[in-house]
């Protein structure tokens, strides 16, 4: 039996119901049957009615329940909502956190290939430094920060050593130990799941790598990590300067590892737009999400593209 895919509705004030419906139109019935959506049954039904989407919704208790008829299977998050597209921050936050907690418990099953969460406003997770990457890391009790955010398509992947931090705090969180842990997580995941040894480029932190002066992060932390990792057999080069690698040099590598979120994700999106998926590596399960936001400006306009979510579904079907 093929494994189940746990899909999380995510932020209710978003385009998520739209991209879910459109994605289901683009995948075959066999793959649809593997999807279990963690959502509020009544809320999703109302949103589909407003959008004039017609699909059978089936409320189920858990992923073990056998369903013979076709339709979208919903694991209900039991909350009451009044306005289906204008939900308060407090109610949205409670809904999102309950949904992620349910998805986490379901994903621990051996019969689940992973979690896909639709976009979520980071404010709903209550802690300013938390994104979904950090939330699931906390649920999996990962205390050494070895989890990894990886933005990937068929041409390239990028990964930041630090994720949702204020810029003023980035340098405080960069050290040799954490760089080694994160790159080891990436390398081991590629070997285990994709059966290949990736070519990895690592960037410095400062402009022009601060010319490798003695008291810079490049000399004190990044170069020692590179030396250690290459001795361990990791195919790693660097540190490269961030202002030129994305002109053409990136084409020589499978992954570019940067020191902070926007250092690698901003140029990646400039080149590839939203042709990517967002993975969290190092958890007890695979977690993936579309590589775009909640797009509140597009709600009810029927203009949202489901392509990134379709890529997420097709990615998980292989596991």
5, 71, 155 from 68: Cα distances, Å? 17, 9, 39
Instruction: Name 266's bridge partners.
Output: none
Does 72 have pLDDT greater than 80?
yes
- Please give the pLDDT value at position 210: 80
Alpha-carbon dihedral of residues 63, 68, 73, 74, nearest 10 degrees? Answer: -70
Report residue 193 CA to chain centroid gap. 17
Domains 1-142+283-319 and 144-282 share a fold: yes
What tens digit of pLDDT does each residue of 214-264 get? 889 999 999 999 999 999 999 999 999 999 999 999 999 999 999 999 999
Q: What is the pTM of this model?
A: 0.88
What tens digit of pLDDT does each residue of 154-167 get? 999 999 999 888 89
Find, among 91, 90, 70, 12, the residue nearest to 44 by Cα. Answer: 12
Total residues belonging to the chain:
319
Report CA Rg, the chain: 20
The DSSP string of 46-63 is: HHHHHTT----EEEESST
Identify the CATH assignment for 144-282 out of 3.90.1150.10, 3.30.1490.20, 3.40.718.10, 3.40.720.10: 3.40.718.10
Q: What percent of the chain has pLDDT over 70?
A: 99
| Residue ranges of domains in the chain | 1-142+283-319, 144-282
Phi-psi region of 82 (alpha: psi -120 to 50; beta: other; left: phi over 0): alpha
The DSSP string of 201-227 is: EEE-SSGGGGGG-TTSHIIIIIHHHHH
Identify the CATH assignment for 1-142+283-319 out of 3.30.70.120, 3.30.160.20, 3.50.7.10, 3.40.718.10: 3.40.718.10
Query: Is the bond preceding 239 in cis, omega lying within 30 degrees of 0?
Result: yes
What tens digit of pLDDT does each residue of 17-35 get? 999 999 999 999 999 999 9
């Amino acid at each position: 039996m093929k494994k189940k895919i746990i899909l999380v509705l995510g932020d209710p004030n978003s385009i998520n119901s739209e991209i879910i419906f459109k994605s289901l139109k683009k995948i075959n019935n066999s793959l649809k049957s593997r999807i279990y959506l963690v959502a509020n049954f009544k809320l999703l039904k109302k949103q589909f009615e407003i959008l004039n989407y017609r699909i059978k919704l089936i409320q189920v208790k858990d992923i073990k329940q056998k369903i013979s008829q076709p339709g979208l299977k919903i694991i209900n998050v039991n909350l009451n909502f009044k306005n289906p597209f204008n939900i308060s921050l407090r109610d949205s936050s409670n809904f999102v956190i309950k949904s992620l907690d349910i998805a986490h418990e379901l994903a621990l099953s051996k019969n689940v290939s992973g979690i896909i969460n639709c976009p979520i406003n980071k404010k709903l997770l209550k802690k300013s430094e938390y994104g979904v990457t950090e939330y699931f890391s906390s649920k999996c009790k990962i205390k050494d920060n070895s989890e990894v955010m990886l933005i990937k398509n068929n041409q390239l992947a990028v990964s930041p050593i630090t994720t949702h931090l204020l810029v003023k705090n980035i340098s405080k969180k960069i050290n040799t130990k954490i760089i080694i842990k994160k790159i080891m997580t990436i390398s081991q995941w590629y070997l285990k799941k994709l059966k290949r040894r990736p070519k990895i480029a690592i960037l410095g932190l400062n402009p022009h790598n601060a010319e490798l002066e003695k008291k810079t992060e490049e000399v004190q932390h990044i170069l020692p990590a590179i030396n250690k990792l290459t001795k361990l057999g990791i195919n790693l080069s660097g540190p490269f300067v961030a202002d030129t690698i994305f002109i053409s040099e990136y084409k020589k590598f499978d992954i570019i590892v940067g020191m902070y979120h926007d250092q690698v994700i901003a140029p990646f999106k400039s080149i590839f737009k939203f042709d990517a998926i967002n993975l969290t590596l190092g958890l007890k399960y695979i977690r993936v999400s579309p590589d775009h936001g909640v797009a509140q400006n597009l709600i009810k306009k029927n203009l949202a593209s489901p392509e990134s979510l379709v890529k997420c579904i097709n990615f998980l079907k292989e596991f």
